[in-house]
Structures are given as C-alpha cells and as structure tokens.
Amino acid sequence: GVTRERTTRLAARALTCHPTTPPPPVCPWPRACATPAGLKTWPSLPGCDHLVLVRWWRGATGGIAQAVIEKMVEVNPGSTDKGSIRPTVFALSNPKTQAEVTSENAIKWSEGKVIYGCGTAFPGATFNGRTHMPGQVNNVYCFPGISFGAISCKAQKLPDAIFLAAAEAVANTLSASDIEEDRVVPHPARIREVGLNVAAATVLACNKAGVSTRPIGDTFDAVKEVLAKEMWDPRPSA
C-alpha cells in the first residue's frame, strides 16, 4: 500500500506518490502547478513521477484537470491489472456544483482506469459497458462506530491508532460487489454493518493500546457479538 510517508500534504490538497518513489522533502507543488482554481498541470518534480492519489477538498469547480487524470493513467501502466496500484481521485468538496471533477469526467478521461471517490453523491459512470460506482467518502463511515466502540469499552483516550483501525475496518467491510463496482467505501445501505465492524475494531485497538477500562472481549467476533446486542436500533421492536 501507500504509506503516510509517501503522502505530500498541502493546505487543502494532497498528493500520494508511488510507494517506490519517495516524495521530495519539501514539495514545491503550490508554486509549480497548483493554483487557487485547481490542479491544472502535471509536475515534473522529483518524487512525483508516479502520482497515485489526488485528494482535494476546497471546492474548486473543475479543479482537477483532464490532463492530470490522463497523466496519472499514463505513469501507472499497470493500472488495468488486478492487484496493481490504480490511480485514484478523491474529489471531496460538496455540493455537486463545487466538485473538483465529476464521476463521469473522471471515468471518461481515464477510460475507466481511475478509482473515484467523492464528497457528495454522484451517479455511476459507464465506460465500455462497465459501470463504475463512486463511493461517497464521508466521516459517517467512521465516527459513529468509533464513538460507539470507545464508549462501550470506556476508553480513557483515543490514540491515533484507533482511527487507522477504524479505516481498516471500513475497507474490510467492502463486499465483492463493492470492489467490482470500484466503490472505495461500502454501499451506504450497509452503514449499520460498517458501524458495528468499526466499533469492534475500535474496542480491540483500545485494548491493544491499554486504554480500555471495560472488558468486552479479546477477539473481533467476541467483541462484535457483545456490541451487536448493545447497538441501538431505530426500528420498532416486534
């Protein structure tokens, strides 16, 4: 995978380089190619020759240009192979009118090779007969489950490792159909299932960090079973 050390963060945008290509110590992107209006050109900079991920959340409509997406595909020639690193675009601003790039354009410009995530709900985009479903990247997938798990085990504090465990739980909840459709998060209809898995992962991470004060269980399945019984259900009981 792509580690945090391979990620270059800017004020409102982030770039992730290929894991075999370390980014420069100080990334000159703001001067080189990023403007308030968006990311318009490709950087010919050390460490940015294999760009994998672009994230943007400032609301620059059209901020991720066609040339950048096309170049991401070009420098990741294995992007069509299963198991390889595929270029990924997260256009996280909302509403739709503020999206940096639409799902339709991202899929069309990349000829279906880019994995696309968005901050607001977009419809699926079809290329060559295959429909790609954008995942709506939202903190609703993590924070309710983190809170539920932390409260349940009476955690004294929440170390950073808790949030990594929660993110991994979201990813591990992806189904085969989610992956086939290129969703980056599970279908929103499964949000309660995601929340329960995140909560169980949070409890285990709290146990490992030594911050739990209420014993619940030592395995994922054991913790999940206890939490499932305690989880609030808005549906009226029979």
Q: Which two tokens stand for residue 28?
A: 């000159």
Task: With H, G, I as helix, E, B as strand and everything else as coil, classify residue 192.
Answer: helix
Nearest to 115 by CA among 165, 32, 53, 177: 53
* pTM score of the predicted model: 0.76
Task: With H, G, I as helix, E, B as strand and everything else as coil, classify residue 28.
Answer: coil
Q: How many residues does the chain have?
A: 238
Q: Which residue has the tokens 């090779």?
A: 113
**Residue 143 backbone phi and psi in degrees, to 5:** -65, -40
Q: Which residue has the tokens 């190619």?
A: 33
Distance CA 77, CA 169 (A): 30
| pLDDT of the chain, 238 residues: tens digit per residue | 444 444 333 334 444 444 444 444 434 433 334 444 445 455 544 444 444 555 544 555 667 778 888 887 887 665 454 546 778 888 888 788 888 888 999 999 999 988 898 888 888 999 999 999 998 888 899 999 999 999 999 999 999 999 999 999 999 999 999 999 999 999 999 999 999 999 999 999 999 999 999 999 999 999 999 999 999 888 887 6
